[in-house]
Structure 1
Amino acid sequence: MTRVLVTDVAWPTTDVERSVLAAAGAEMVLASPGESLVELARDADAILTCFAKVPAEVLDAATRCRTVARYGVGVDNIDVDHATRLGMVVSNVPVYCVDEVADSALLGILALARRLLPLTRDVAAGRWGRDVPGAGTRLRGKVLGLVGVGTIGSALAVRAQALGLDVVAFDRRPVPGVRRAASLEELLAEADVVSLHVPLTESTRHLIGAAELAAMKPTAWVVNTARGPLVDNAALLDALERGEIAGAALDVTDPEPLPADHPFRTRDDVVLTPHTAFSSDGSLAELARKAATNVVDVLEGRVPATVVNPAVLDSPVLRLPR
């Protein structure tokens, strides 16, 4: 029987993908924590992965494997170049949680603006009314700077504009209704909020570091719902402690999870969530269905809807039946 190795999931049930695969006559094998993916990959005709690393040694062991499919958008946990050399189609699911991530980014902005964390902690400590210091920030008229304006960035722009924010973007593509910054430096200098919506690559790693943070307004905030390593967290902590910027909303960090004693966990100026911006009942079901369908397409000789490494389709070692 055709076997599909699922390396890991971040949700309580695999009923959706199991059903899609079973309808195609494929058996799903879910790896347990601590199991060797190298060993499990030897009998796999396909690999479905969420956050687990799928490096060259796993791909080399998977001599029957035709495809590696990612539950999600980014493929930085997969050695895509090596998969291409081996003739494996790599796919992802670029559109499934647009509303959820855009909502989460907006939530982070609102939480910082309305000082949600310190106010909640004040109430828990018994303080109320005049005993609670500090006012919030009026968002109307503030500038939201978007670094990357794909589907999620565009969805956040619509939400932000509804609240009266002026949206400016740094992206190669023009976006209707959104002003365009000529450079990242220009955006950082102007923005009251900087929200990141780009994939993690070698060129975007630590895109926001000490120099970029120093270029921002001391009243500005950073929002990251994309990938943790886009921000140099050590530089961010230093900038917060120095008062170079005013706050951050982070759904992703580097590393994940943060150490139990990391200062981000207890700072009032950091809104921290555990890489769950993508997650809802609707988005997870859509993600599982689309990722499993990508696998089935390859197993049945079709090109999946979203191929990350299209060059493999012309490769003489392509493992997709011609």
Structure 2
Amino acid sequence: MQVLIADSFESAGLDALRAAGCEVTYQPAAKDAALVEAVAAAAPDVLIVRSTKVPEDVLRAGPLKLVVRAGAGYNTIDVATASRLGIYVANCPGKNSVAVAELAFGLIAALDRRIADNVADLRAGVWNKAEYGKARGLFGRTLGLIGLGGIGSAMVPRAQAFGMPVVAWSRSLTDARAAELGIVRAESPLEVAAQADVVSVHLALNGATRGLLGADFFAAMRPGAYFVNTARGEVIDQDALAAAVRDKGVRAGLDVFAGEPSGGKGEFHPDIVDLPGVYGTHHIGASTDQAQQAIADEAVRIVTVFAATGEVPNVVNLARVTPAGRTVIIRHLDRPGVLAATLDAISRGGLNVQEMENVVFSGGEAAVARINLEGTLTDAVVQAIRANDSVLDVQVIAL
């Protein structure tokens, strides 16, 4: 299997792919037009990326079967085009949770003690203990979490170790789960904003979360509260946050920004980082040795399972719901041509196969096929399937 890696990748991961029989092309600097050329030249089955963007022209440049995002999010990949082209997209969820949670808490502590400003002044020869000795402290302060997936969940025990009660909102959070974690479930992000002294965001970027935290959210935050975003820059209204920093004394720790560079280096100067009380880092949440090794191991697992079985762990672009309205279950003798005749009858009936599986009973004498169909399954089609001497039984189930 041909694998192109267009980002930095652990050397142990490269060795593991090669040991699994993959032919690996490693071009960590390939971006934009250079990536299109690399895909066209290498003709890979699999493309592995971290922060590198994968737009439509990259997906169409070669015979790609699978794109693996070596990380949790996948908003840098044109998933819609990949789906149209029949290209799997997979990610590596949960492997960087601890690393991102560690950075989020580092930013929280830094905001409270104004660590970056301390360092800057001391390097400039300024001693200002009178100013910097005014921290509020975190013990007893309420931490609000927006999103409670792997990273948000990793924040909970760390907050509790700091003596911080937690209030959280997530679409999937139930009262039972909140009680199990020892936290309070909020009904909305606005409720979290109103109750928390510190807000930390842990949302995946998608159509439902883009711009979710806007002017009303920041208006609901307490004056002087802290806001940390280690998720994606696009989930917030950055201008509204800047207004809250200026007008309400909100302090912000930001590891992510809208429109940030995709590469490891480049020119980038968002206006918000010039505001007093805003600390920015370089989208480094997942950038620990531990996290990168775990992500590389998972990316290798995805590729090797795909090569061996054709299945894709962590695939993100298969339909959860299809237009299928009927399932036809066919028990049949395990002989050549039975499924071909069945599919021919389905095709002549104007039906579209949405999903299909065929499994063999022990002993290899008989098998059962389950086929989900879109369209009107008529008695004539069912009878045509039954007419095959090797078909033992046909059952139809409405979905």
Identify which range, 289-298 or 179-188, moves more after superposition. 289-298
1:148 Cα deviation after fit: 0.7
Corresponding residue number in structure 2 for 1:142: 141
Q: Over residues 179-232 of structure 1, what are the superposed CA-to-partner deviations in whole Å (9 max), with x where a residue is unaligned?
A: 000111111111111111110012211222222111211111111111111122
2:163 aligns with 164
Runs of 4+ in 1 over 6 A off after TM superposition: 314-318
Give the C-alpha shift of residue 123 in structure 1: 2.2
Deviations 1:270-305, CA, capped at 9 Å, x for gaps: 121111111111211111121122122212224233
Report the residue type matching 2:51 in the other structure.
F
Aligned partners of 1:98, 1:316: CA distance in 2, in Å?
A: 39
The residue correspondences of 1:127-206 to structure 2 (distance < 5 A) are: 127-128=126-127, 130-132=129-131, 135-171=134-170, 172-174=172-174, 175=178, 176=180, 177-206=182-211
Match of 2:24 in 1: 28
Q: Report if aligned partners of 1:119, 1:132 keep a CA contact under 8 Å in 2.
A: no
Q: Secondary structure at the match of 2:60?
A: helix
Between the aligned partners of 1:5 and 1:180, the Cα distance in structure 2 is 44
Which structure would you say has the larger Rg? Answer: 2
- Tell me which amino acid in the other structure corresponds to 2:110: A
Please provide the CA RMSD for this pair.
2.6
Aligned 8 A contact 1:118 1:268 in 2: no
1:298 aligns with: 306
Farther off after superposition, 35-44 or 17-26: 35-44
Match in the other structure for 2:5: 6
Alignment identity in percent? 37
Q: Give, in angstroms, the shift of residue 156 of structure 1.
A: 0.7
| Aligned-residue offset at 1:53 | 1.7
Matches within 5 A, 1:108-123: 108-123=107-122
Q: What is the TM-score of this pair, normalised by structure 2?
A: 0.72
One-letter amino acid of the structure 2 residue matched with residue 53 of structure 1: K
Secondary structure of 1:252's match? coil
What stretches of structure 2 of length at least 5 have no aligned partner?
A: 323-351, 360-399
- 2:319 match: secondary structure: helix
**Quick check: 50-59 or 276-285, which moved more?**
50-59
The 2-side partners of 1:133 and 1:24 are apart by 55
Q: 1:251 aligns with which of 252, 255, 269?
A: 255
Determine the C-alpha separation between the residues in 1 that align with 2:249 and 2:235: 17
Contact 2:143 2:196 in 1 (8 A): yes
Q: CA offsets per residue over residues 79-125 of structure 1, 9 Å max, x none?
A: 22322232222111002122111111111111111121222223223
Contact residue 113 and residue 132 of structure 2 kept, 8 A: no
* 1:90 aligned residue: 89
The 8 Å contact of residues 72 and 96 in structure 2, kept in 1 or not, is answered as no
SS in 2 for 1:36: helix
Cα distance between partner residues in 2 of 1:238 and 1:110: 23
Aligned equivalent of 2:295: 287
Larger deviation, residues 95-104 vs 113-122? 113-122
Aligned residues: 313
Higher mean C-alpha deviation, range 73-82 or range 142-151: 73-82
2: distance between equivalents of 1:84 and 1:8?
23
Runs of 5+ unmatched residues, structure 1: none
SS in 2 for 1:275: coil
Matched-pair contact (CA < 8 Å) for 1:84–1:311: no
| Higher RCO, 1 vs 2 (CA within 8 Å, ≥6 residues apart) | 1
CA distance in 1, matches of 2:224, 2:130: 24
TM-score, reference length from structure 1: 0.88
CA distance in 1, matches of 2:125, 2:81: 57
Deviation at 1:260, TM superposition (A): 4.9
Are residues 135 and 239 of structure 1, via their aligned partners in 2, closer, same or farther at CA, if it must alter by over 3 Å?
A: same
1:130–1:94 Cα change, 3 Å: closer
Q: Structure 1 pair 316/276, CA: closer, same or farther in 2 (3 Å)? A: farther
Match of 2:227, SS state, is strand
Q: Where is the strand percentage greater, Structure 1 or Structure 2?
A: 2
Retained in 2: the 8 A contact 1:20–1:293? Answer: no
Asked whether the equivalents of residues 10 and 292 of structure 2 are also in contact (C-alpha less than 8 Å), the reply is no
In structure 2, the partner of 1:40 is 38
- Cα deviation, residue 267, structure 1: 4.0
TM-fit CA distance, 1:152: 1.1
Cα distance in 1, alignment partners of residues 314 and 307 from structure 2: 15
CA distance in 1, matches of 2:233, 2:313: 27
Quote the offset at 1:316 in angstroms: 7.5
